[in-house]
Structure 1
Amino acid sequence: MERRKFIEMTTKSGVALGTMPVIFPNSRWKGANDRVNLAVIGIRGMGQSHIQAYQALNNVEVTALCDVDENLFAERVKKHFTDKNLKEPELYNDMRKLFEDKTVDAVSVVTPNHWHSLAGIWAIQAGKHASIEKPSCHTIEEGKMLIEVAKKYRKVVQDGAEQRSNPSAQSAVQFMSNGKLGEVYLAKGICYKWRDSIGSYPDGYMKENERYANTINSNSWIGPFTKEYMSGVNYDMWQGPAPEKPFNRNRFHYNWHWFWDYGNGDMGNQGVHEMDVARWGLGVKIPSKVSAVGGHLMFNDDQETPNTLMAVFEFPNPQGGGQKKKILQFEVRHWMSYPEGNLGNRESLNNSYMTSSANTVGNLFFGSKGYMLKDVEGWQTYMGKEREPGESGKGYGNHYQNFVDAIRADDPSKLTAPIEEGFYSCALIHLANISYRLGRTLDIDTENFRIINDDEANRMFSKEYRSPYTLPKRI
């Protein structure tokens, strides 16, 4: 799809109906204080954080939970509802049935990555507002469709780039936008997280006495995923649009991140947050050139995605000096590393794992007047040749409240992280992975958003979908 046409389609309503049932609610929300009924799709890991966050908001009720793993329901309902004297939610093991529930106003999609866009598209076509965890798309083409569907059905669709709701990130970007750092020519995103080997395991169910953890040196046991346990899992739906494969414990809970059919590696896991901040701070969208190198190093195990990856993106910068371009550099490391200035040494405000001794996660921005260090909790500038400490900022926001506020206002423009912004950051993840997997630099036609003279790379903008878990042919 041509970029001009894509942008045009994201600002106009379409005419074709999708494959999911479509509900046309009132064009305006009833009122700013009316109750919002929410459903959470995917309740094993991050989904629990979503449940708790929404329950903490005024006049918001989590009325339904959905997960393909029915083994989770009893514990989750007890922990998050009955123990709190809250009304028990409706339970679904098939999101398509959930989407038929007209009492649900909005959904949080907290599934594995390969389901994010498809679940969002189906939900929107069924008349729901949607908050979609990062990365909002597993491929570039499905991300484009997600935006088109959101525009056509006039729904509030939030990307999971939660730092955009933080005053610390907002003030950092405003500081640079006001020119206080000078010409910002280089941004760096870093994701140095301790990631041990996931080991190797045969296909098939586990035995009753087997123990398993997501990494080989951990004693945080999960499962065992026995035949009896898996009888309570709709594994066909868990695989969804991905190719059908036999069950393997390493391709299931959490470790799916490290397999291309379901995840995008750590750049698309933790790293997408820092990629979004880097792109936001630079004020750029589509790069003109991408090059990535790396590999899955040190370990002989089942993991497919790289644990060490370095990507460089070039963007046109007509207003800049010199060769008139901006650079975004992103790096993923999985083992011992240095802290990048004070990013890994700064005292954490809430004992965040992002500023621990083992992990360093954040951003650096370099301008003609100085540079900035930023992590999830705050930012600090260092100005001039002598690198004197300059202005700083900090502060958390509430991404969940922002989603609900936009729903009540019936106004997607109220979102701090609209799905369009999430798409452009996700696109950088996909471009880096394509460059890495093909082993070559990608030159990009920024007007039409296609790789120049590289049909193989352009084919990787999309993927095959396994029936019936397919994108609608028309929206």
Structure 2
Amino acid sequence: MGSQSRSSEALQEAVQKMKAGEFGEIYHARALCFKARNTIGKTPVEPVPPGVDYDMWTGPAPLRPFTKNRFHYNWHWFWDTGNGDLGNQGIHEVDIAYWGSGWKHPTKVTAAGGKYMFDDDQETPNTILASLEFVVDGKPKLMTFDTRHWYNNHEGGIGGERAGNTIGNIFYGSKGYLVIDGYNKYYSFMDRDGKPGPTKNTRDSHFENFIAAVRSRKREDLTAEIEQGAWSCVLMHLANVSYRVGRTLHWDEKTWTVKGDAEANKLLTRPYRAPYIVPAKV
């Protein structure tokens, strides 16, 4: 789970300002992942490389014949082992959207997209747009995840220094909007005329935070507590499930299930291949 941005001093400040109401009511949180990813092509079945325990590497997933595309890095693009770019790079931005907004339980999730341009081994979509609807204190809120491949424009100034790489977030409020560019920088624009607002660019201290929490043994010292990461992953998985079944999901926050949709609920977990079985209760 890509939650190291929670240790960024700049992003911590950005979230604090949103929660303090400096941008008014936040009503739309966007997560952007645009990367100029090329085709992975097609690779043949071949012997497992010497020194690789392919059974252990595969773990609970089905043991498929070995191909280079199913191995290092490109495993992201197969449903057996990965979640596409939404669960690869995108989870970093999904987590920031969840953290920054403070919204926890979506009521509806809809996703559409596909694998465009390329005829290759990839199973997951290279382009996907997900919409998650929330109700917070009786008010509707919207969170969107936008993942694209190949050639793309930058949005909100995000990625202007990184050709072909737009990763970040935009939060829209009633008094202005805030842009997070990458992992350690934010800037903002206020009022209807878009005058420049607060900005900051700094490093993160994720490793330092982890070591400090190990030493203190205090859960509250963690900037990226594990339950928060689990919720961010829930949002990402629901978006992928909506894409795979091709319809809107209605989420039940109390039972952690999709209402009235057996096919979608089946995709919330997986059959585990022995002996790599996760017990129902840990």
TM-score w.r.t. the length of structure 2 is 0.97
Q: Deviations over 1:217-275 (max 9, x none)?
A: xxxxxxxxxx6xx2311111011100111111110011001011111111111110100
Measure how far apart 1:377 and its partner are. 2.7
CA distance in 2, matches of 1:161, 1:367: 23
SS at match of 2:112: strand
CA distance in 2, matches of 1:185, 1:447: 24
Measure how far apart 1:449 and its partner are. 2.3
Residue 332 (structure 1) aligned with residue 139 (structure 2): no
Q: Which residue of structure 2 aligns with residue 259 of structure 1?
A: 78
Runs of 5+ consecutive residues of structure 2 not aligned to the other structure: none
Q: Which residue of structure 2 aligns with residue 280 of structure 1?
A: 99
Q: Deviations over 1:352-396 (max 9, x none)?
A: xxx412111100010000111111231111111111111112222
Cα RMSD after superposing both structures: 1.2
Q: Which residue of structure 2 aligns with residue 382 of structure 1?
A: 189
SS at match of 2:198: strand
Counterpart of 1:304 (choices 123, 132, 136) is 123
Q: Which residue of structure 1 aligns with residue 200 of structure 2?
A: 393
SS at match of 2:131: strand
Q: Quick one: higher RCO (CA 8 Å, sep 6+), 1 or 2?
A: 2
Q: Which residue of structure 1 aligns with residue 249 of structure 2?
A: 442
CA distance in 2, matches of 1:453, 1:182: 36
Runs of 5+ consecutive residues of structure 1 not aligned to the other structure: 1-133, 135-159, 206-226, 346-354
Q: Which residue of structure 2 aligns with residue 411 of structure 1?
A: 218
CA distance in 2, matches of 1:337, 1:316: 32
Q: Which has the higher strand share?
A: 2
Counterpart of 1:364 (choices 170, 187, 209) is 170
Measure how far apart 1:447 and its partner are. 2.8
Residue 246 (structure 1) aligned with residue 246 (structure 2): no
Measure how far apart 1:398 and its partner are. 1.6
Contact 2:30 2:143 in 1 (8 A): yes
Q: Which residue of structure 1 aligns with residue 157 of structure 2?
A: 342
SS at match of 2:260: coil
Contact 1:380 1:390 in 2 (8 A): yes
Query: Is the alpha carbon distance of 1:468 and 1:177 closer, same or farther for their aligned partners in structure 2, counting shifts above 3 Å?
Result: same
CA distance in 2, matches of 1:337, 1:282: 26
Which letter maps to 2:254?
E
Residue 316 (structure 1) aligned with residue 135 (structure 2): yes
CA distance in 2, matches of 1:182, 1:474: 42
Contact 2:7 2:206 in 1 (8 A): yes
Contact 1:191 1:332 in 2 (8 A): yes
Contact 2:9 2:184 in 1 (8 A): no
Contact 1:465 1:471 in 2 (8 A): yes
Counterpart of 2:236 (choices 429, 454, 457) is 429
Query: Is the alpha carbon distance of 1:361 and 1:444 closer, same or farther for their aligned partners in structure 2, counting shifts above 3 Å?
Result: same
CA distance in 2, matches of 1:338, 1:473: 44
CA distance in 2, matches of 1:453, 1:287: 16
Greater Rg by CA: 1
Measure how far apart 1:474 and its partner are. 4.1
Q: Which residue of structure 2 aligns with residue 142 of structure 1?
A: none
Q: Which residue of structure 1 aligns with residue 266 of structure 2?
A: 459
Report % sequence identity.
Answer: 48
Q: Which residue of structure 2 aligns with residue 187 of structure 1?
A: 29
Which letter maps to 2:23?
L
Measure how far apart 1:341 and its partner are. 2.1
Q: Which residue of structure 1 aligns with residue 3 of structure 2?
A: 161
Question: Post-superposition, which runs of at least 4 consecutive aligned residues in structure 1 deviate over 2 A?
Answer: 446-449, 472-475
Query: Is the alpha carbon distance of 1:380 and 1:474 closer, same or farther for their aligned partners in structure 2, counting shifts above 3 Å?
Result: closer
Contact 2:156 2:170 in 1 (8 A): no
